[in-house]
């Protein structure tokens, strides 16, 4: 695929056929994704390719209450987990195919990052730090893009990260690592390529964030 077309048409895929994805394909995807940039080229990522049905079930059981809390906040018109805060809203049980049918998802990846290899430049500010993600999420996105080149689709989620402590033991999460994402991959039942995004002049300004909109 043309690079620009791929960037402009790769949407989240949450529905997969039952067609299996071989380990050779997963290796090829990760072999491409490993060229993603990271601070100091530390490449802080670790990936667990989760195949064990019991382990997948355990992951789903940890994600489900997080998902229901998320949907409960949505139901009252609030942004769930804004700056890491919970919303005082009753959880809402809503089906989620990735969680409910995790055993049939062709590929489940748990992605961790070595915190010793990530510079948290905003760690001293009076807010949750965010810039450390610059050293790990380009790798995660490269996995999604590389999967697209193999005719696959996927989605990155962070629900399990909220349950990192109980997930650490069954996943064998190394000490001083953060569980940064869970990525689901497979042959898509539908590849959504018509994406809705805000136009450039709605978010890009000249010189200052309150400057004049950038127009082409």
State pLDDT tens for residues 100-133: 999 999 999 999 999 999 999 999 999 889 999 9
So what's the pLDDT on residue 216? 81
Give residue-wise pLDDT tens across range 154-163: 999 999 999 9
pLDDT-above-70 percentage for the chain: 99
CA 184, 110, 63, 85 torsion-angle sign:
negative
The Cα angle at residue 182 between residues 81 and 50, in degrees rounded to 5: 145
State yes or no: pLDDT of 84 exceeds 80.
no
- pLDDT grade, residue 86 (50/70/90)? low
Of the candidates 188, 146, 109, 185, the residue with the CA atom closest to the CA atom of residue 29? 146
Q: Which tokens in the block code for residue 155? A: 């989605």
Element (H, E) at 30: helix 23-33
Among 33-47, 65-79, 84-98, 136-150, the minimum mean pLDDT is found in 84-98
Of the candidates 33, 60, 67, the residue with the CA atom closest to the CA atom of residue 145? 33
- pLDDT grade, residue 88 (50/70/90)? confident
Cα–Cα separations (whole angstroms), residue 163 to 57, 67, 166: 14, 11, 6
- Burial state string for 25-62 with b = 16 or more CB within 10 A and e = fewer than 16: bbeebbebbeebebbeeebbbbbbebeeeebbebbbeb
Element (H, E) at 177: strand 177-186
Among 3-12, 85-94, 177-186, the minimum mean pLDDT is found in 85-94
- pLDDT grade, residue 79 (50/70/90)? confident
Residues 138-163: what's their mean pLDDT?
97
Residues 76-97: what's their mean pLDDT?
84
Could you identify the residue written with the tokens 């997930």? 167
Percentages of the chain per state (helix, strand, coil), in multiples of 5: 40, 15, 45
Give residue-wise pLDDT tens across range 199-214: 999 999 999 999 999 9
* DSSP per position, 90-156: -------HHHHTGGG-SEEEEEEEEGGG---TTTTSSS---GGGGGTHHHHHHHHHHHHHTT-EEEE
């Amino acid at each position: 695929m043309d690079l620009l077309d791929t960037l402009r048409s790769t949407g989240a895929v949450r529905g997969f056929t039952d067609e299996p994805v071989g380990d050779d394909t997963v290796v090829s995807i990760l072999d491409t994704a490993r060229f993603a940039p990271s601070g100091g080229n530390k490449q802080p990522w670790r990936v667990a390719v989760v195949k064990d049905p019991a382990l997948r079930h355990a992951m789903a059981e940890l994600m489900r209450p997080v998902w229901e809390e998320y949907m409960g906040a949505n139901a009252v018109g609030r942004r769930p987990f804004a700056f890491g805060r919970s919303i005082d809203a009753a959880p809402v049980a809503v089906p989620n195919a990735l969680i409910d049918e995790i055993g049939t998802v062709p590929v489940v990846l748990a992605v961790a990052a070595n915190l010793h290899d990530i510079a948290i430049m905003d760690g001293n500010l009076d807010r949750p730090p965010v810039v450390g993600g610059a050293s790990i999420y380009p790798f995660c996105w490269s996995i999604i893009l590389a999967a697209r080149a193999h005719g696959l689709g996927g989605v990155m989620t962070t629900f399990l990260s909220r349950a990192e402590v109980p997930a650490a033991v069954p996943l064998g999460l190394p000490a001083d690592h953060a569980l940064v994402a869970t990525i689901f991959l497979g042959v898509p039942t539908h590849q959504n390529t018509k994406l809705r995004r805000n136009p450039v002049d709605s978010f890009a300004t000249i010189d200052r964030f309150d400057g004049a909109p950038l127009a082409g």
